Amino acid sequence: MAKASIGVVGLGVMGRNLVLNIERNGFHVAVYNRTQSKMQAFLQGEAAGKHITGSDSYPALMAQLEKPRCVLLMVTAGSAVDAGIEEIKPFLEPGDILIDGGNSYFMDTERRSLALTAEGLHFVGMGVSGGEEGALWGPSIMPGGTPEAWQALAPILRKIAAKAEEDGEPCVTHIGPRGAGHYVKTVHNGIEYADMQLIAEIYDLLSRGAGLPAAELAGIFDEWNRGELRSYLIEITAKILRRTDEITGKPLVEMVLDEAQQKGTGKWTSQNAFDIGAPIPTINAAVESRILSSLKAERVAASRVLRGPSPRFTGDRAALVEAARAALYASKILSYAQGMSLLRIASAEYDYHLDLAEIARIWRAGCIIRAGLLGDITAAYRRNPALSNLLLDDAFRQAVESRQAALRHVLQTAIGLGIPALALGSALAYYDAYRSERLPANLTQAQRDFFGAHTYRRVDQEGIFHTDWE
């Protein structure tokens, strides 16, 4: 029997779907799962009649693979990855490639990469975005690791990745060394958090504030998805708003408890941005909004004693909807500007040599944040690879400038109605701060010098100064 091109360890939903995707694209796959009954059920069910073979041990798995052997670990991020590496490592040989396809913390990938490289092995931290459907039919793939590992994996990854509608290009590229792939996936998820929160705040303003019913909002989001806001998240928002609850007959979205959960990648994005000094207030606001949502019992109690304006909009609803569309597009640009700036700063900090145009290119299809906007972002970084901030590209500068009045109007309306808009507000504040030649940090630094003798610099002289303020 011919050797398998790749082995996959871990047959959860993502693992199974990736196996089926790889096999459908012409590759023989060998699989292993700790629970053998789960593997047998897969082999006798979805994998029946396909070029997918099972293994009852790691030695048996290795014997099925062509060299250099490529093994994809699809296990839960964290200690399970370390345990899996330790179990499989004795059966690997120098030159073999071990891939972690989970949502691992990039610093864990850095550590694992250095340790395995010292033993002559190639370790690839590979971000995969697109959920279960993407894994089966084509995700966006973000592999880090050595160029040699990329060359070996590229024929498979290019085949199974999503293909962009514009040019048919596969949404995969070699991201960079060591933990670069998992880092970029983390930032992708941070942008995803922000995008979802911005949409939620617009929904809240139009639903709770302006009183638009879910069915009408579904039509609005459908219309938006045919224009500049075209994206996966806008598309599914329309579908969610249109769905009726079979039990109550009400819109199903209104029966979903308002507690948003998170798996940690958004939080990692915020934490790392603080570590390396990158301002991403809209992503941070999205993380904080999820945390606030989790305080459900506290919010219910607070709602009975804390007073504010009544959310009853009495103005022109059609004008507000149009302003909301423009505000959402502007705030999405501002969110992407923050995320891409974070990638630029991290690239220098960790010596990743990230190609921002390529990263935007591979996000155009397959992933959760896929959007028409990403083609324009790709073009901006191709025009100027050294672009320090997306807002300094003429096209995006004009796009935000021409919509800032709408964003300000939407925020003023939300504030007047008492509708929280943490992400929308942070997006505008970021824009106003970034375009300010002078910020009040002069007072902050003077305060620091007053109480801690931290010194300051002057605008008119070189050097470091300290004042006895008393």
* Residue 384 tokens, joined: 């100027």
Contact between 384 and 393 under an 8 Å Cβ cutoff? The reply is yes
For tokens 């709408």, the residue is: 406
Helix (H, G, I), strand (E, B) or coil at 159: helix
Give how far the C-alpha of residue 65 lies from the chain's centroid of Cα atoms, to the nearest Å.
33
In this structure, which CATH number among 3.30.750.210, 1.10.260.40, 2.60.120.10, 1.10.1040.10 belongs to the domain 185-434? 1.10.1040.10
Cα–Cα distance list, 23 to 46, 136, 221, 377 (Å): 12, 10, 37, 33
Strand partners, 4: 65
- pLDDT of residue 264 exceeding 90, the answer is no
**Residue % of the chain over a pLDDT of 70:** 100
Whether residue 332 lies in the annotated active site: no
Whether residue 250 lies in the annotated active site: no
Task: Tell me if domain 6-178 and domain 185-434 are identical in fold.
Answer: no
Which residue in 185, 201, 228, 332 is the catalytic one?
185
For 462-469, what is the mean pLDDT? 97
pLDDT at 462: 97
For 453-466, what is the mean pLDDT? 97
- pLDDT of residue 263 exceeding 80, the answer is no
Confidence of residue 261 (pLDDT cuts 50, 70, 90): confident
327 residue type, one letter: A
- pLDDT of residue 266 exceeding 90, the answer is no
Counting every residue, how long is the chain? Answer: 470
Q: CA-to-CA distance for 26 and 284, rounded, in angstroms?
A: 42
Q: In the chain, count H helices and then E strands.
A: 20, 7
pLDDT at 310: 85
Which residue in 192, 201, 228, 288 is the catalytic one?
192
In this structure, which CATH number among 1.10.357.10, 3.30.450.20, 3.10.450.50, 3.40.50.720 belongs to the domain 6-178? 3.40.50.720
**Residue % of the chain over a pLDDT of 90:** 96
Residue-wise pLDDT for 337-396, tens only, equals 999 999 999 999 999 999 999 999 999 999 999 999 999 999 999 999 999 999 999 999
Residue-wise pLDDT for 31-47, tens only, equals 999 999 999 999 999 99
How many Cα atoms within 13 Å fall on the side-chain side of residue 141?
32
Confidence of residue 2 (pLDDT cuts 50, 70, 90): confident
> Sign of the C-alpha dihedral, residues 429, 434, 435, 441?
positive
pLDDT at 20: 97
Give all strands (DSSP E) within 278-411, no chain letters.
none
pLDDT at 1: 62
Residues 6+ apart with CB under 8 A from 142: 126, 127, 128, 129, 172, 173, 175, 181, 182, 184, 185, 188, 359, 362
Contact between 116 and 148 under an 8 Å Cβ cutoff? The reply is no
Q: What are phi and psi of 231, to 5 degrees?
A: -170, 165
Q: CA-to-CA distance for 465 and 449, rounded, in angstroms?
A: 9
Confidence of residue 73 (pLDDT cuts 50, 70, 90): very high
Per-domain residue ranges for the chain?
Answer: 6-178, 185-434, 439-470
Cα–Cα distance list, 217 to 11, 51, 243 (Å): 39, 46, 12
The Cβ of residue 244 has, within 10 Å, a number of other Cβ atoms equal to 14
Q: CA-to-CA distance for 240 and 218, rounded, in angstroms?
A: 8
Q: What are phi and psi of 100, to 5 degrees?
A: -105, 110
For 183-198, what is the mean pLDDT? 97
Confidence of residue 265 (pLDDT cuts 50, 70, 90): confident
Q: At 70, which helix (H) or strand (E)?
A: strand 70-73
Q: Which of 114, 123, 165 is nearest to 145 (CA)?
A: 123
- pLDDT of residue 126 exceeding 70, the answer is yes
Quote the CATH superfamily of domain 439-470.
6-Phosphogluconate Dehydrogenase, domain 3 (1.20.5.320)
Residue-wise pLDDT for 439-452, tens only, equals 999 999 999 999 99
Q: CA-to-CA distance for 390 and 153, rounded, in angstroms?
A: 32
- pLDDT of residue 398 exceeding 80, the answer is yes
- pLDDT of residue 101 exceeding 70, the answer is yes
* Maximum pairwise Cα distance, the chain: 86
